[in-house]
Amino acid sequence: MLTESFDEDESCWRDLADVLSAGISRVLLYGPSGTGKTYAALHHNVGSCPAERLVCTEDLTSGEITGTWMPVGENRWEWREGPAIRAWRGAGGLGGRLVVDEVDRASGDALSTLLAMTDSPESARWRNPETSEWVRPGPQFSVMMTSNCDDLDEIPASLRDRFPVSIRIDQPHASALASLSSDLRAPARAGSLGPASRRVSLRCFYAFDELRRHLGPARAARLVFGDDVGTSVLDALAIASLA
């Protein structure tokens, strides 16, 4: 679970916390890869019911969103509700969190279904084809979409319109940095290490930190950052340690 402590009052994480506390239930998190967008969407302000997650690809089908018929014996089929409907229901019908990752890739039928699932609470409803029950999102239903494109125009306009608040996540959360060794926190926060223009994601920092404990810094740097860049990464860390 994320802590509510922040290094800077003005950070993107402060914006997210304030928006959620103000009761906004639809937020788009976008920006560079590996800054913790999905992690935050899965954990931030999520109640007792674990978040449901959908990852959009060109092949995502409507059935993977709302559910499909499944064989349960000879000539018997049952409808299995998908992640969006499970999130609508949440624990005890109160509604939970739906996370829609890589949303810029949604297209075709899946996009239409996502539009229906993220519609305003007053309009959203879906009928279970097996029981004919009408389902509506519970009062605590929330959706977070994530995308690592930097241009919001790449996200289908109809979907974006359902998410009036978009926050560009440009740095890892303080709790993500806290689990790194202290010498890696500042570069991880800046998102770079070694050659100035080279972006390094949180995932690489975690892998480097873990590997150097087992294999030593030189091999870890070579394995994570490659032969060309590994040495300059080590030089950058050595210089930072003198400061």
Ligand X SMILES: Nc1ncnc2c1ncn2[C@@H]1O[C@H](COP(=O)(O)OP(=O)(O)OP(=O)(O)O)[C@@H](O)[C@H]1O
Catalog residues that contact Mg ion under the rule CB under 5 A.
38
Find the shortest distance in angstroms from Cβ 101 to Mg ion.
5
- What's the closest the beta carbon of residue 11 comes to ligand X, in angstroms? 13
Q: Which of residues 201-220 bind ligand X (CB under 6 A)?
A: 202-203
Evaluate whether 63 touches 57 at the Cβ level (below 8 Å). Answer: no
Contact status, residue 90 vs residue 133, Cβ threshold 8 Å: no
- Rounded Cα–Cα distance for residues 159 and 114 (Å): 8
CB of 3 to Mg ion, least distance (A): 20
Does 199 interact with ligand X (rule: CB under 6 A)?
A: no
φ, ψ of residue 215 to 5 degrees: the values are: -115, -5
CB closer to ligand X, 98 vs 202: 202
What minimum distance in Å lies between the beta carbon of 146 and Mg ion? 5
Cα torsion for 79, 97, 185, 174, to the nearest 10°?
-160
Indicate the pairing of strand 97-101 with strand 142-147. parallel
Q: Using the rule CB under 6 A, is 140 a contact of ligand X? A: no
Q: Is 33 one of the binding residues for ligand X (CB under 6 A)?
A: yes
| Interface map 154-173 toward ligand X (x if CB under 6 A) | -------------------x
> Which strands sit side by side in the sheet containing 97-101, from one edge to the other?
52-55, 97-101, 142-147, 26-30, 165-168
Is 82 a binding residue for ligand X by CB under 6 A? The answer is no
- Choose the contact partner of 33 out of Mg ion, ligand X, none; CB within 5 to 8 A by kind: ligand X
User: Per rule CB under 6 A, is residue 189 in the interface with ligand X?
Assistant: no
